[in-house]
Structure 1
Amino acid sequence: MTRPGVPRPQNKPDAASASFHTTSTTASTASLIAYFAISIVINSAGNVLTLVTSAKIHPSYLGAAYWTAATANFGNALHWNLFWSFIIIGLMTIVLNALLVGHWSWQRALGNLLFMLPFSALIQVFADFFNGVYPFFAGLPAAHSPAMIIFYICLNFFGDALIGIAISIYQRVNLILHPADDLMQILRFKYLKGHAATAMWVSYLPPTILTVIALIISHQFTNFGLGTIFALLFQGGITGAADKIVFPRLHHRAIHVSQN
């Protein structure tokens, strides 16, 4: 089912907002698919870097990306494995997105679900790589020195930055999105005048609520750390900056955030 379009925003964002430009079909389908493929590889690699580097420092205090950490906590509290945690919370986010947009779109919902398939597969590939499963790379060693700890902290932050860059690319391509990133885009363009950083922070309210619920149920607060705080503070700003400097000729296209 085709989602109804929306008029091009008439008012430009203020100086504090990330500038954006929308277009319809200026890029070919092949180039859009290529951009999407690049972005999903970058996103998967960034997520795995946050997880692996956190596991290589003992005690673990780096933490994962914000949605990842919240999903893991909520799943642990309800005794779900990670697969079902991500699927169920993804479905809940799809419903929330439909409520915010004002109508249900099977095209949008199925796109969100389709995003998870290659994303999950690539997560496993990069996790195997950084953990030394493949014979050509021994994996990242555990950190036993201050220099290695500092290096892993930087690598963790770099992983968060990669996620922000990837979000920028595939939100501009807008073929299919992860439900959490679709939520951020809806907030950004329907409610927050294109301001990427503010939209990212507001989109963190649902995982924050899930984390509080998990804390009440299990009395445990895990998977959060320095990297999570870095993502909370800077990932939205990185996404907004990447809109301008990473593939700058790629503009936001076919944004559907309203029923009007």
Structure 2
Amino acid sequence: MSYGDEHRYGESARADDELFGGSGQTRTRLPDRAGDPYGGARRGGRSSSRSLVTVVGVVVLLIAAIAFANRGGDGSSSADDRGGEPAGAATAATGKRPVTTKTGGIPSGFTHDAQGAQSAAANYAVALGSTNMFKKDTRHSLLDLLYTPAAATRLRGPMDQAYSAEFLGKVGLDSNGDPPTGSTFVSRVVPVGTTVQQYGDSTAKVAVWYMGLIGMSGERSTDPVTSTWKTWTFTLQWTGGDWKIAADSQQDGPAPVPGDDRAATSDEISKAIDEYGGFTYAR
């Protein structure tokens, strides 16, 4: 089960590819395999001195290379905000607070730049991946708050059809979107990173790579909480002093190889959901 494509509202971006192109890419370089630092025969004093100088020189160059690689950028994940395909971006956080205000419990008032667009996209993904989307009233509120007026009007009907009583029943919820007594319905989006695929003064295209949690935690649950990996791409417009969603789409992955972690019990999952709150995400 996933967000967006499961409910078909990701199709709101069908015209998006006609506006922008390109895709983000992050490359990770692994350290070279080092040889045995203690191997080899013992050498005389002159050779040892030359070796020491060589080692010190290599260490200095290595430190300089690391410092160069870790230099902070301007918060944008695009090598060129003027357009075109983005290059590999620095993954370090900017350290800047994204916003200091909220509207309807959702972070708002993002800055009018590439960093603000990324922060907005990450926080909007969290809101749209929450359990509030499974209740009609809160879903409509999120649409009006996060989308442009035109997009919200266009999506309200299709979303109501997607979150039908039949669909809610399949995930263990009643027609009002409530779980059975004693059970906890889980739906969370946890952003891993963002990248700007295109940026202009009034429009930005931002991709959010995230891990999702969804399922029912309870003794009688037949749909346990599972994880999924997706990339959620938003086309944002600067409207009314903030970034709003004009269109969005999703695709699978990239997903890492599953680890060997022990699966938690239903009680452990329910307790974690109750005890651990979310974050305001920043680029």
Structure of higher CA gyration radius: 2
- TM-score of the two chains, using structure 1 as the length reference: 0.25
Q: Compare the two structures and name the one with the higher strand fraction.
A: 2
- Say which structure, 1 or 2, has more relative contact order (CA 8 Å, 6+ apart): 1
Q: Compare the two structures and name the one with the higher helix fraction.
A: 1
